[in-house]
């Protein structure tokens, strides 16, 4: 353990769970370097944030240029990097987004989206999906059900939040179609027994559940939600915090899955590592959220906005290459599944891939992940897990990873699975 790690442990509140004790001193592209000079492939990307890798030249230059001009404004005056970032974000967003509003973190943007939905509809009910993750603030943790421990000790949470199942075909041991049908039937039961549709302000859904275990929704399930929302005047909020900015192979999960949300929540990859988040919607909906109803001091920080505009430019170049990297990764995992019985399921979109590790009864095998992560650290790979039982490999390489580095990382996982089963 380096001196820095012991100082870190001494001075820094232990409330956040760190994934490793490595001290990182430098970064470049897909690689980071520790205090001993050892290099690691960073396939965690700061939890799906640095989609263009570290030290991206375009983002770096935009930040340096902006630092020389203006680095904070608050709401006191207006400035160009915010407008540039907003215009670029709207241009790549799913319909019907015509305007955006910037904040600092995903949780904050989730809060704002729900506040907006309540204000605009005049209704109170909030429908969320079991296994969803939306953040750690009091509001966003009230919508989060990926793990009960995130909520433990914080009750009472925000009221009038109703939790309904999200289709988990592998966990439920059924086909996607059957899981979709079951989840939709449960939603209808909820609307019959617990809250009338006319009292519901919004449904908040991740197009692909992230923290909850990397379960993509099917287009059919999302389209059924859209129909129910349309029928009852409920606003559909897509939390694209993790699925956004190229992760699913297109700009947003909504594009990949054919979803037309009313409100979009953005975060994580929006500025490749600089703190920024946003909500987006139509002019019509935003016009019903009057000035002064919401606000922020740091949201839309000039440097973060400059980074975001450059990130969107960078992603425009990188996105066409994601499909080949995704196909290659899925093919490699499928190949591994033939020889590693610990792989129960492989699922995901683009370069957001979950590999669920299980025992012979198909029950979660979190020890396997622990092994993969520690072999990764030994051999030079940072990789995360997800899922309520922490048994899903969360495969998140940078979107511009070279094929060579992609294979290096996949080889390490393959070897780790072999030595686990040996
Ligand atoms: C889907 C989703 N929504 C919201 C959040 C919260 O974002 P933040 O940690 O920036 O508050 C996360 C973070 O992991 C997320 O994955």
Which CATH number does the domain housing residue 409 bear?
3.90.1150.10
pLDDT of 1 above 80:
no
The domain boundary residue, chosen from 301, 318, 335: 318
Instruction: Provide the whole-model pTM.
Output: 0.98
pLDDT at residue 356 is higher than 80: yes
The mean pLDDT of the chain is 97
What average pLDDT does range 185-193 have in this prediction?
98
- Is 151 found in the same domain as 295? yes
Residue 298 has pLDDT above 90, yes or no: yes
Q: Measuring from each residue's beta carbon to the nearest atom of ligand 1, which residues come in under 6 Å?
A: 47, 105-107, 110, 133-135, 206, 210-211, 239, 241-242, 267
In this prediction, residues 53-60 reach a mean pLDDT of: 98
- Picking from 300, 318, 336, the residue at the C-terminal end of a domain is 318
Taking the CA atoms of 120, 125, 127 and 131 in sequence, report the sign of the dihedral they define.
Answer: positive
Within this chain, do residues 266 and 204 fall inside the same structural domain, yes or no?
yes
Mutate to test the pocket of ligand 1, among 241, 243, 247 (most ligand atoms within 8 A of CB): 241
Q: Are residues 214 and 239 in the same domain?
A: yes
208 and 355 housed in the same domain: no
- CA distance linking residue 422 with residue 420, whole number of Å: 6
Residue finishing a domain among 275, 296, 318: 318
| Residues 25 and 82 placed together within one structural domain of the fold | no
Q: Return the ligand 1 atom nearest residue 105 CA.
A: 10
Same structural domain for residues 66 and 215? yes
CB 239 within 8 A of CB 206: yes
CA nearest 237: which of 205, 214, 272?
A: 205
Does residue 75 carry a pLDDT above 90? no
Domain span at 69: 57-318
357 and 272 together in one domain = no
> Which tens digit of pLDDT belongs to each residue from 135-166?
999 999 999 999 999 999 999 999 999 999 99
* Cα 259 to middle of ligand 1, angstroms: 20
- The predicted model gives 309-325 an average pLDDT of 98
Tell me: pLDDT of 30 over 80.
Answer: yes
CA–centroid distance, 351 to ligand 1, in Å, is 18
pLDDT of 372 over the 90 cut: yes
Q: Whose CA is nearest to atom 8 of ligand 1?
A: 106
Give the per-residue pLDDT at 2: 78
**What is the Cα–Cα distance from 385 to 373, expressed in whole angstroms?**
9
Beta bridge partners of 281: 99, 263
Shared domain check, 218 and 108: yes
270 and 345 co-located in one domain: no
Task: Tell me the CA–centroid distance for residue 115 and ligand 1, in Å.
Answer: 17
CATH number at residue 172: 3.40.640.10
Residue 310, pLDDT > 90, answer yes
- The mean pLDDT of 212-230, rounded to a whole number, is 98
- The structural domain count of the chain equals 2
Distance 132 CA to ligand 1 centre (A): 10
On the question of pLDDT at 305 being above 80, the answer is yes
* pLDDT above 70 coverage of the chain, percent: 100
Atom of ligand 1 nearest to the CA of 108: 11
**Do both 193 and 311 map to the same domain?**
yes
Cα 241 to averaged position of ligand 1 atoms, centre (Å): 6
Whether residue 170 sits in one domain with residue 249: yes
How would residue 404 be classed by pLDDT, with cut points 50, 70 and 90? very high
Q: What pLDDT was estimated at residue 343?
A: 98
Pair 181, 330 in one domain: no
């Amino acid at each position: 353990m380096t001196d820095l790690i012991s100082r870190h442990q001494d001075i820094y509140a232990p409330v956040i769970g760190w994934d490793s004790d490595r001290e990182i001193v430098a970064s470049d592209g897909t690689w980071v370097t520790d205090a001993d000079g050892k290099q690691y492939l960073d396939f965690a990307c700061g939890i799906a944030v640095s989609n263009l890798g570290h030290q991206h030249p375009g983002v770096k230059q935009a930040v340096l240029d902006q630092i020389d001009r203006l680095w904070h404004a608050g709401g006191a005056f207006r400035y160009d990097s915010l407008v540039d970032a907003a215009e670029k974000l709207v241009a790549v967003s799913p319909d019907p987004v015509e305007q955006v509003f910037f904040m600092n973190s995903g949780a904050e943007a989730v809060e704002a989206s729900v506040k907006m939905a309540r204000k605009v509809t005049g209704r109170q009910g909030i429908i969320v999906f079991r296994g969803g993750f939306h953040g750690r603030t009091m509001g966003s943790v009230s919508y989060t059900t990926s793990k009960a421990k995130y909520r433990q000790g914080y009750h009472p949470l925000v009221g009038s939040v109703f939790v309904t199942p999200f289709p988990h075909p592998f966990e439920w041991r059924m086909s996607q179609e059957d899981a979709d049908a079951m989840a939709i039937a449960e939603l209808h039961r909820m609307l019959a027994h617990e809250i009338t549709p006319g009292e519901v302000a919004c449904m908040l859904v991740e197009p692909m559940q992230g923290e909850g275990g990397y379960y993509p929704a099917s287009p059919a399930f999302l389209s059924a939600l859209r129909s129910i929302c349309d029928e009852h005047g409920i606003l559909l909020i897509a939390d694209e915090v993790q699925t956004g900015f190229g992760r699913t192979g297109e700009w947003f999960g909504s594009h990949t899955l054919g979803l037309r949300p009313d409100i979009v929540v953005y975060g994580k990859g929006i500025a490749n590592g600089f703190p920024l988040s946003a909500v987006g919607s139509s002019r019509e909906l935003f016009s019903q959220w009057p000035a002064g109803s919401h606000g922020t001091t740091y949201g839309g920080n000039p440097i973060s906005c400059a980074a975001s505009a450059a990130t969107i430019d960078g992603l425009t170049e990188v996105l066409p290459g994601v499909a080949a990297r995704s196909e290659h990764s899925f093919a490699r995992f499928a190949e591994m599944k033939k020889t590693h019985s610990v792989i129960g399921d492989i699922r995901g979109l683009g370069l957001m891939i979950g590999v669920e590790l299980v025992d012979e009864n198909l029950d979660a095998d979190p020890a396997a992940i622990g092994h993969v992560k520690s072999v990764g650290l030994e051999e030079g790979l940072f990789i995360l897990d997800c899922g309520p039982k922490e048994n899903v490999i969360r495969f998140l390489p940078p979107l511009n990873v070279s094929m060579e580095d992609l294979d290096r990382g996949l080889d390490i996982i393959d070897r780790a699975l072999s030595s686990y089963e040996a």
